[in-house]
Amino acid sequence: MNKLKEKISQYGRWHPLQVYISRIEVHLDDDFSISIENAKALLESIGKEICKSKGLTLKSDSSVNGVLKNAFAALGYPKDEMIAQISSSLANIGQHIGALRNTIGSSSHGKSLEELQKRNEKINDMTKYFLIDSIELIACLLIELFEGENIQIESLPDLVYEDCDDFNEYWDDIYGEFSMGDYSYTASEILYNNDISAYKSEYNSYKADELNNNEK
């Protein structure tokens, strides 16, 4: 996982992830269940750190898939953007990793001695390295997007107020309109025109909540 190691070395905040990388690499051949357990934890840690840093609260029972989807949403990619569609596919890999962990894990459920001995035979070497490479790709992408380092994806345009009707209606239903003499403005208009950063943050949280609701 050299690419991820290089990425971590550039940004101090991600250094604690080294413990997961070490466990993944050490047990890759002799006990892949430990590698996949730590791969799952690696993705969850990155996703949760991004959500926390962006002020997005996750449900306590969020799946790996849910954490990753919310992480991309917290980074500002709505569902109709290409990167969001790609991230959804990547997030599905995370979900399958969780399922695989339960299948081959040595401690998730009690197993017979024969099951313990054969559990690693359920996945071949080609699949192992494909999964680990995919995990590394997702991890590097998330960190790059978060840190803003040489992003090769086209930058999202600034939010246009008229393109956010669903969020505007949601915000206005909560806070209504404000009148000043002969003038009247909706809450969403005021937020957009006076603090665009706050508007974007609330918009991203709204979209992330939509993702959570769609998972139910």
Structural domains in the chain plus CATH codes:
2-147 (1.20.120), 161-215 (no CATH)
Q: Which long-range contacts (CB under 8 A, 24 or more apart) does 148-152 make?
A: 149/10
CB 208 within 8 A of CB 62: no
DSSP symbols for the chain: -HHHHHHHHH-GGGGGGHHHHHHHHHTTTT-HHHHHHHHHHHHHHHHHHHHHHTTPPPPTT--HHHHHHHHHHHTT--TTSHHHHHHHHHHHHHHHHHHHHHHH-SSSS---HHHHHHGGGGS-HHHHHHHHHHHHHHHHHHHHHHHT-S--SPPPPPPPGGG-HHHHHHHHHHH-EEEETTEEEEHHHHHHHH-HHHHHHHHHHHHHHHHHHHH-
> Per-residue pLDDT tens for 3-49?
999 888 888 789 889 999 999 999 887 777 788 888 888 989 999 99
Among 41-55, 87-101, 156-170, 199-213, name the one with the lowest average pLDDT: 87-101
Q: How far apart are the C-alpha atoms of 55 and 182, rounded to whole Å?
A: 37
- Looking up tokens 């937020």 gives 191
> Per-residue pLDDT tens for 112-167?
555 555 555 556 677 778 888 888 988 998 898 888 743 443 444 578 899 999 99
Higher pLDDT, 152 or 62: 62
